[in-house]
Amino acid sequence: MALLVEKTTSGREYKVKDMSQADFGRLELELAEVEMPGLMSCRTEFGPSQPFKGARITGSLHMTIQTAVLIETLTALGAEVRWCSCNIFSTQDHAAAAIARDSAAVFAWKGETLQEYWWCTERALDWGPGGGPDLIVDDGGDATLLIHEGVKAEEIYEKTGAVPDPASTDNAEFQIVLTIIRDGLKSDPKKYHKMKDRLVGVSEETTTGVKRLYQMQINGTLLFPAINVNDSVTKSKFDNLYGCRHSLPDGLMRATDVMIAGKVAVVCGYGDVGKGCAAAMKQAGARVIVTEIDPICALQALMEGLQVLTLEDVVSEADIFVTTTGNKDIIMVDDMRKMKNNAIVCNIGHFDNEIDMQGLETFPGVKRITIKPQTDRWVFPDTNSGIIILAEGRLMNLGCATGHPSFVMSCSFTNQVIAQLELWNERKTGKYEKKVYVLPKHLDEKVAALHLGKLGARLTKLSKDQADYISVPVEGPYKPAHYRY
Amino acid sequence: MALLVEKTTSGREYKVKDMSQADFGRLELELAEVEMPGLMSCRTEFGPSQPFKGARITGSLHMTIQTAVLIETLTALGAEVRWCSCNIFSTQDHAAAAIARDSAAVFAWKGETLQEYWWCTERALDWGPGGGPDLIVDDGGDATLLIHEGVKAEEIYEKTGAVPDPASTDNAEFQIVLTIIRDGLKSDPKKYHKMKDRLVGVSEETTTGVKRLYQMQINGTLLFPAINVNDSVTKSKFDNLYGCRHSLPDGLMRATDVMIAGKVAVVCGYGDVGKGCAAAMKQAGARVIVTEIDPICALQALMEGLQVLTLEDVVSEADIFVTTTGNKDIIMVDDMRKMKNNAIVCNIGHFDNEIDMQGLETFPGVKRITIKPQTDRWVFPDTNSGIIILAEGRLMNLGCATGHPSFVMSCSFTNQVIAQLELWNERKTGKYEKKVYVLPKHLDEKVAALHLGKLGARLTKLSKDQADYISVPVEGPYKPAHYRY
Amino acid sequence: MALLVEKTTSGREYKVKDMSQADFGRLELELAEVEMPGLMSCRTEFGPSQPFKGARITGSLHMTIQTAVLIETLTALGAEVRWCSCNIFSTQDHAAAAIARDSAAVFAWKGETLQEYWWCTERALDWGPGGGPDLIVDDGGDATLLIHEGVKAEEIYEKTGAVPDPASTDNAEFQIVLTIIRDGLKSDPKKYHKMKDRLVGVSEETTTGVKRLYQMQINGTLLFPAINVNDSVTKSKFDNLYGCRHSLPDGLMRATDVMIAGKVAVVCGYGDVGKGCAAAMKQAGARVIVTEIDPICALQALMEGLQVLTLEDVVSEADIFVTTTGNKDIIMVDDMRKMKNNAIVCNIGHFDNEIDMQGLETFPGVKRITIKPQTDRWVFPDTNSGIIILAEGRLMNLGCATGHPSFVMSCSFTNQVIAQLELWNERKTGKYEKKVYVLPKHLDEKVAALHLGKLGARLTKLSKDQADYISVPVEGPYKPAHYRY
Amino acid sequence: MALLVEKTTSGREYKVKDMSQADFGRLELELAEVEMPGLMSCRTEFGPSQPFKGARITGSLHMTIQTAVLIETLTALGAEVRWCSCNIFSTQDHAAAAIARDSAAVFAWKGETLQEYWWCTERALDWGPGGGPDLIVDDGGDATLLIHEGVKAEEIYEKTGAVPDPASTDNAEFQIVLTIIRDGLKSDPKKYHKMKDRLVGVSEETTTGVKRLYQMQINGTLLFPAINVNDSVTKSKFDNLYGCRHSLPDGLMRATDVMIAGKVAVVCGYGDVGKGCAAAMKQAGARVIVTEIDPICALQALMEGLQVLTLEDVVSEADIFVTTTGNKDIIMVDDMRKMKNNAIVCNIGHFDNEIDMQGLETFPGVKRITIKPQTDRWVFPDTNSGIIILAEGRLMNLGCATGHPSFVMSCSFTNQVIAQLELWNERKTGKYEKKVYVLPKHLDEKVAALHLGKLGARLTKLSKDQADYISVPVEGPYKPAHYRY
């Protein structure tokens, strides 16, 4: 795909796979709107006052139908938006087309190369001569990373004249990042500083990105305020858990049509994502084995009737392996060699280094047979036995299926809208320093409340007397900060 | 699609969507083989003796990857095979291509018109001048129906010279059947008699087809022996139950991406299919309401914590409706008008008359918006509210997804192979009269046994003493005929 | 306990533990009536016409609260009743007291010796000089057995003058049976013949008793008609399955207070009882392993995510063992020696020979520590490691808890009432020969229907058109005989 | 029961129901030890160094078998212990007897009056002239309350000479508290001050007690350091959740033998306790309806397929009602009047004011029929319809069954031991101020780790490289403080 920016008739930039899919995307968008009451409520509540009037928002987050409803919620509130995906396989091309045609500048397609991925990210951050975005919606932290690395490089360049050397790292992806920054330095040695200066803040979607932010906060290197959306209860305990419970079997079925009942499924990691995955596999009739490092999570798995063992214990008897850890090097090529023929190996954690794809790709004599896009059989030369890798080791629910369903994403994305509003509204008050914040509980409860009506639920109301008895306001928030749900 | 028969270089006839998908089909076939231990065992056990040498087998059964493994098991045992699908939407085009290229005459593609459907059925039954097939593998009974109706028409024609009048029926599909028979009479007034005379028997796959057979047996009109494969335990209590438990959510997810958790799902009918569907919905986090006519099945639903109500009670509050009854007129257009906006309505029973598609299509002012193939939003003019119909009211798991997974189909299809072998081996012994038979229990148990190893199971062996104590042979069968499992 | 028959003020015979518990029994009986709509409907429907007027009914069936409601239904319909329990531990003494005081002659208490058990059985069958009962309600077939063995002995005695020799058998219990018969011969050498001649028939409650009946039918030795109540769908698929799902954890909790979550539970046998037990253990958070001889049942277990192994594979790692097979010698003392310290071993099948209690009791040096009645720790001398045996190897749900709950027993017992009515009403028509019968499906459906209202269910009604389409009457029955539910 | 303190031969004080049950208690204690690996590990790890040498510990916590193992762990570590129960129905008399005979001063029996209850509490706090205990193990906070109220009264008395007036409150229980304090003032006006001065701190077991502590911390009235054991993950997410999942059905079954399957169960509150209760009811086959005030918890319930309504919506159609809220006035007498005949109403929250027992007891014409202890049927005069109240509205799992099983209590109580050690070891360092603390995460993880081996689990170990990648120590703790599990 030639990396040329295109323009709509109205002059808005984009780069998508196939603009003719815009109508299809629009139809699915309309379906999704009915399933996303939180976002639609935001449009109703905030739309008339146009709170984002004048705000430029850059998003780096899976360009799906659900994200499209988020984007159009941001624009309905007055924002201008540029968007890229945060995963090379996660874009739904019809969603990208609909948004590119109707609402925002989109740079995303399913099946980007890493080179293309970072080009898209750069495009989404590039708002022209006036600097970058006012706000970032980030997922995994790549947009945030690029700015931080850019600023760091510009500082070194200013002091020493040295530019980043892509050859200084083994990591293929980081080489690309350094190249982009190096090339940027040539055209504008203050590019990332300008971005940083303009930026009001970022709201981060996922566990992995949040970890990076807290690390930067600890190191004192965080350049702008950040809201940790992931740790809203209505995000991490819903999207991560119930979303994956839905999308793991969806991805497995679409990619392999395999019968889950009767199989042995190994779920590596029993955090929120792992809990959702294990529940899904158990419910579908699989026998589930969990691997864990944390004794508390391990004990939770046991209480649900799941077996807790090490990967080594079960590597040769299981049928399905799912990594959910957020850590790296979970399933190595040497593990894969011990697996049964046609064992399925997939990852639903944010990054693709949970599975040792590099080890697999470079294993002497290994043969890759692509069954269909995102479903590959890798055959080892000695045994002639193969394993099935989904989505090339990346997020299988987005690579092989369509990610999480609209309803649960409505919870997550309503948090995003509220976080963006919060950053923007307080941009001049100094409320938010260069730190990581979570949303206050009353907003978390509000997000939940917006999603009850659609499911026909009726809440009980506290009397004043009862509220006093348990020392909470009648209208909430109802729980202390440390409450675990 | 022009209805012209094509030929492979080896001269075998076929009509499929796209022969270039044959390689893709072959890859998926190879994956499926690993998941179908029963069929692969048949190849190993019976292949060397070529028991089907000289047998012509016609199949009318969803032309999927799993069926492809069945077909190649039949050919591996020596048979010649011609095949069509038994549903206009159920063909997987890559499976059809692979089989057409490599193994058998296939007439099937996804998205046939009814006209095309019956043309394919006729092609599959047409073995040239020497009469029809020796054996039929039927699913729903359409191949069997055509022969029975053909013979009936030929008898009338012989006696009275009258030919069938398509205008004599309102049923659009039956008009096509009559037309085919009428046209056949012109070219060969003994065509179906020749078929009948040659036919050794039929093995029938599904509840609906079996009902038709028993009806014909009661009426004394059955023209050849039939084996009821559906009521093998390893078929009806596995494929119908666990197959649907897998494929209902699969179809829902692929068609609509809707979040099942939190929704109200109405399952009409709580037979084996309904039990699988209700279990799937419950496990995915839906609240399930069952409708039933049979008090025993209703009480079973209640024991599982499901609510039992009438459709009328819940029509306006539910989100997902699934028909599984095998009966007709379950959800009428007047019901659909009362549903919530974007309620999903689908059928997983054999025939498409469970949902009143005709009533919907002819409703004044109704508007059909095709989101994507097999997913339509129908909007009523008065309310501007719409419902989502999957697979045009036909089997949604085959129309919107890929049907049941290989492993459970291996159980069903191993029964088919055994039934076909039984009919063929006993073709001259008179063992099977013009009646409907079920396979003996020891074969049923054998089918199950062939599927245990793949799942790592180890059976306990009875001692002679224990076997005597409960009055069964050490090697089985272990249960009386009336045992319900 | 001195075996002396006592009499109420009204002159009715009884022998129970403690008549002062009658009030308590009555209160629980009244609670149970609300939970047993089927039996209460029988009282309403049939009570006024007193169909059992003149009928003597002997019951040998666990003397629980639920059975008490059955007994009072029989008396409400006009019968005279004598009752004993069919298990030495299953009597609820307050239930026995209430019935003895108010309604029928009862001979039963919790913790009978085997000697006492058979004395009670004999008392229940002894209606005085005029012969035995007209009808028997049997559970496990001990009352039926006694009559059959008695008749056999009387025939030999008549021919040869020989009386049964208790020393001719090793089986301690059968020695008692022979002694009773021998002693009976002395007082009346036609006692059992008279019983046989009067007897209209028996209705049998459970799988084990039914097996005995079919065996006698095959051997041609069955002396009177029998109705197999066990295989009514509303019995075996409800009581056996849902009853055990309820009462297994109940028994485990009352006997041991052990936490089930996290434990490994081995369920031996995956029939209806085993399915209920496995479901209960899985739901409570145990990891369940099934042992099976039947490949079909094994495959069902696998489809539910349960592991299928042999006892040997898991004997040393599991925490809870439950036998449900109806066979003997399932867990032998050599297995028990390999178990973990404080492994729990229990039986929920009808007879106590599933667990090798004799092997355990006679194991050299073994020590029995009674924690409380029905809960014993047996310590092996070499390892000093112990296992926990519940209810001395007998039905643990009745020995350690109160058996199945009222609602599900109402299904079973309504079948019993209907079976007894059927036998009695047809006693002169010759409808029932000396064979085993099951109730017709329309009565089975009726039993279910009587239980729906209590649970708030609403059935759908077939239209005439729909009924014709699937070839069933509008009012049912709705399924063919072979339907498995 | 005459309130006279008795003494063992060794001179230790006690007051229990029946000392002859001590042997039985000892046998059950020995079984429990095998199920409580955390406590037994504490004995092994800390026993030799006798860290509690010289410490006086008073406990106010359900005097069950599991608590007995806790007490003997404290004494094994060198402590002297006095104990009372924190609920009038929760004592297991055999446990109390065994401990009273062998290990500690116990004042507790099942079925105390409120008067007796507070007498026991006072006895447990009374260590003689030298002041009170060094440490308190509290559950619900009654021991802590007594001291705080006592100190308050002494201060007023010192200033004004006024003594507390029991007539100043309507609350019957608080009248007793005031009477005790008033009487104490007469004998020693510094009694509670001495206690306070000696006290090192309290560790509190449950949500309700913790709420009281935080309230006192906010008000600045907390008199000594407190460790909040409840909010250790290994307590609140295990005991509260999995404990109640086990003990709710246990209590229901023992109290009523009711069939849970098919029933409608209303769970008021969906916190940890409510989640466990709802899961238990759902798994047992009930249809579960949740009432909630908190939209987040409500949305969680919906995601599990549970219906969320108000009590008013369902009061007349449900069969079982369980309160789990920690709030008051959840089910009022006017609600009860609308319920179905024999609806079961019970509470599993700490205090008995969730159910309006006072309203029920004083309802004109209401009739109480005691089925058996802790199971009462209350009949309303107008309808003659009754409801079943369990445990007089108090904790039904402890009143009607035996509370939570040993394994999960081992988690909770290991936290207690660690908390007590922490308070004692740091008693002179000033580490703990007059505030509420939670245990650090590494201790929480340790508690979990101690319970894995018993369940056969094997943890995965992080490599150094992986640990660095996610920024945690190789040996943990593995999660940030805000992690919700």
DSSP per position, A441-481 = HHHHHHHHHHTTGGGT-------HHHHHHTT--TTS--S-T
In chain B, residues with a C-beta closer than 8 Å to the C-beta of D306 are 287
User: In angstroms, what is the C-alpha Rg of chain C?
Assistant: 23
- B404 contacts: CB under 8 Å, gap ≥ 6: A259, B66, B239, B243, B244, B246, B247, B397
Q: What is the pLDDT of residue A333?
A: 98
Indicate yes or no: CB of A287 within 8 angstroms of CB of C307.
yes
Torsion of CA A370, A371, A377, A383, to 10 degrees: -100
Beta carbons of C287 and A304 less than 8 Å apart: no
Task: Compute the nearest-CA separation of D56 from chain A (Å).
Answer: 31
Question: Residues D366-380: what's their mean pLDDT?
Answer: 97
Confidence band, pLDDT 50/70/90 cuts, at residue B383: confident
Local confidence band at D1 (pLDDT 50, 70, 90 cut-offs): low
Minimum-distance CB partner of A262 among C282, C288, C303: C303
CB contact under 8 A, C262 and A302: yes
Instruction: Output the six-digit token pair for A372.
Output: 């269909």
Is D338 annotated in some ligand binding site? no
Q: How far apart are CA C411 and CA D373, in angstroms?
A: 29
Binding residues of A: 64, 139, 205-208, 235, 239, 271-276, 292, 348-350, 397, 404
Q: Residues of A annotated as binding site for NAD(+)?
A: 206-208, 271-276, 292, 348-350, 397, 404
Determine the Cα–Cα distance for residues B403 and B68; give it in Å rounded to an integer. Answer: 13
The identity of residue B292, as a single letter, is: E
pLDDT in the model for residue A125: 98
> Chain B within 8 Å of A114 (Cβ-Cβ)?
no
- Whether B261 sits inside 8 A of D287 (CB atoms) is no
List CB contacts (< 8 A) between D254 and chain C: 250, 253-254
How far apart, in whole angstroms, are the C-alpha atoms of residue C312 and residue C329? Answer: 13
- Mean pLDDT in residue range D299-303: 98
pLDDT at res. B129:
83
Question: Nearest Cα to B280, choosing from D419, D233, A135, A246?
Answer: A246
Distance CA C250, CA C257 (A): 10
DSSP for D341-352 reads: TTEEEEE-SSST
Mention every residue, 6+ apart, whose C-beta is less than 8 A from residue A14: A5, A6, A7, A8, A100, A105, A106, A107
Are residues C460 and B302, on separate chains, in Cβ contact within 8 Å? no
Task: Flag if B288 and D305 touch (Cβ within 8 Å).
Answer: yes
User: Nearest 5°: CA angle at B241, between B236 and B243?
Assistant: 100
Name the residue in chain B with its Cα closest to that of C313.
B458
Buried b (16+ CB within 10 A) or exposed e, D97-136: bbbbbbbbbbbbbbebeeebbbbbbbbbbbbeeebbbbbb
Peptide bond into C37 cis (omega under 30): no
Residue at token pair 């447990």: D124
- Over residues D333-342, mean pLDDT: 98
Instruction: Judge contact between B181 and B149, C-beta under 8 A.
Output: yes
The pLDDT confidence band at residue C124, using thresholds 50, 70 and 90, is very high
- pLDDT at C384 (0 to 100): 84
CB contact under 8 A, C313 and B458: yes
Interchain pair D296, A211: CB under 8 A? no
DSSP state at residue D17: S
Instruction: Please say whether the beta carbons of A418 and A447 come within 8 A.
Output: yes
Consult the annotation and say whether D271 binds a ligand. Answer: yes
- Is residue C327 annotated as a catalytic residue, yes or no? no
pLDDT of A58-115, one tens digit each?
A: 999 999 999 999 999 999 999 999 999 999 999 999 999 999 999 999 999 999 999 9
Rounded distance, CA A14 to CA A19, Å? 10
User: Residue A383's pLDDT is what?
Assistant: 86
Selecting among B404, B444, B446, B451, the annotated active-site residue is B404
In whole angstroms, what is the distance from residue D47 CA to residue B120 CA?
Answer: 82
C404 is catalytic: yes
| CA distances from residue A418 to A70, A83, A369, C306, C348 in whole angstroms, order as listed | 11, 18, 45, 45, 57
Cβ <8 Å between D307 and B287? yes
Query: Is B451 among the catalytic positions?
Result: no
Helices marked H in A11-141: 22-35, 37-46, 65-76, 93-102, 114-125
**A229, A235 Cβ separation under 8 angstroms:** yes
| Residue B397 annotated in ligand binding | yes
pLDDT of residue C335 exceeding 70, the answer is yes
Confidence of residue B363 (pLDDT cuts 50, 70, 90): very high
Q: Which residues of D touch B282 (CB under 8 A)?
A: 305
Answer yes or no: is pLDDT of D173 > 80: yes
pLDDT of res. C383? 86
The answer for B128, left when phi > 0, alpha when psi is -120 to 50, beta otherwise, is left
Q: What is the pLDDT of residue A1?
A: 55
pLDDT in tens, A274-308: 999 999 999 999 999 999 999 999 999 999 999 99
Which long-range CB contacts under 8 A does C119-123 form with residues at least 24 apart? Answer: C119/C3, C119/C180, C120/C15, C120/C84, C120/C85, C121/C60, C121/C84, C121/C146, C122/C146, C122/C180, C122/C184, C123/C5, C123/C13, C123/C15, C123/C82, C123/C84
Pairing of strands C105-107, C80-84: parallel
Count CB neighbours of A466 within 10 A. 18
A413-455 per-position pLDDT tens digit: 999 999 999 999 999 999 999 999 999 999 999 999 999 999 9
Question: Which among C237, C296, C448 has CB closest to B448?
Answer: C296
Distance (Å) from the C-alpha of residue A250 to the closest C-alpha of chain B? 6
Mean pLDDT confidence for D412-433: 97
Residue A231: strand, helix, or coil: coil
Give yes or no for residue B1 having a pLDDT over 70: no
Q: What is the pLDDT of residues D88-100, one digit of tens each?
A: 999 999 999 999 9
Taking CA atoms, A338 is separated from A373, B453, B455, C307, in Å, by 25, 19, 17, 22
What is the per-residue pLDDT for A129? 83
52-91 in chain B: CB under 8 A from chain A: 65
Nearest by Cα to A320 from A380, A253, A238: A253
Instruction: Using CB atoms, list chains with 3+ pairs below 8 Å to chain B.
Output: A, C, D
| Burial of residue B382 (number of CB atoms within 10 Å: 0-12, 13-18, 19+) | exposed
Q: Decide if B462 contacts B456 (C-beta within 8 A).
A: no
Q: Which pLDDT does position B443 carry in this prediction?
A: 96
| Per-residue pLDDT tens digits for C127-142 | 998 889 999 999 999 9
CB proximity A257 to B under 8 Å: yes
What's the length of chain D? 485
Residue C1: pLDDT band (50, 70, 90) is low
- In this prediction the ipTM stands at 0.96
Interface test with chain D among B287, B302, B317, by most D beta carbons within 10 Å: B287
Q: Which residues of A are catalytic?
A: 62, 85, 90, 139, 205, 230, 235, 239-240, 244, 350, 404, 412, 416
Question: E-assigned strands of C221-328?
Answer: 226-228, 264-268, 287-291, 307-308, 320-323
Q: For residues B226, B232, B234 and B238, what is the CA-based torsion angle, rounded to 10 degrees?
A: 90
Under 8 Å between Cβ of C320 and C264: yes
Q: How do residues C383-429 score in pLDDT, each as one tens digit?
A: 889 999 999 999 999 999 999 999 999 999 999 999 999 999 999 99
Residue where the block lists tokens 């190191």: A219
Q: Is A317 on the interface with C (CB under 8 A)?
A: no
Q: Do the Cβ atoms of B411 and B235 come closer than 8 Å?
A: yes
Pairing of strands B135-138, B56-60: parallel
pLDDT one-digit tens code per residue, B264-312 = 999 999 999 999 999 999 999 999 999 999 999 999 999 999 999 999 9
Beta carbons of D264 and C388 less than 8 Å apart: no
In tens, the pLDDT along A129-181 reads: 888 999 999 999 999 999 999 999 999 999 999 999 999 999 999 999 999 99
What pLDDT shows up at residue B366? 98
Query: For the CA atoms of C37, C38, C41, C47, what is the dihedral angle to 10 degrees?
Result: -130
Tell whether A222 lies on the interface with C, counting CB pairs under 8 A. Answer: no
Nearest residue of B to residue C275, measured between CA atoms: B485
The distance of Cα B294 from the centroid of its chain, to the nearest Å, equals 24
Contacts of C404 in chain D (CB under 8 A): 259
Q: What are phi and psi of B483, to 5 degrees?
A: -60, 140
pLDDT digits (tens, 9 = 90+) for A227-267: 999 999 999 999 999 999 999 999 999 999 999 999 999 99
C294 is in an annotated binding site: no
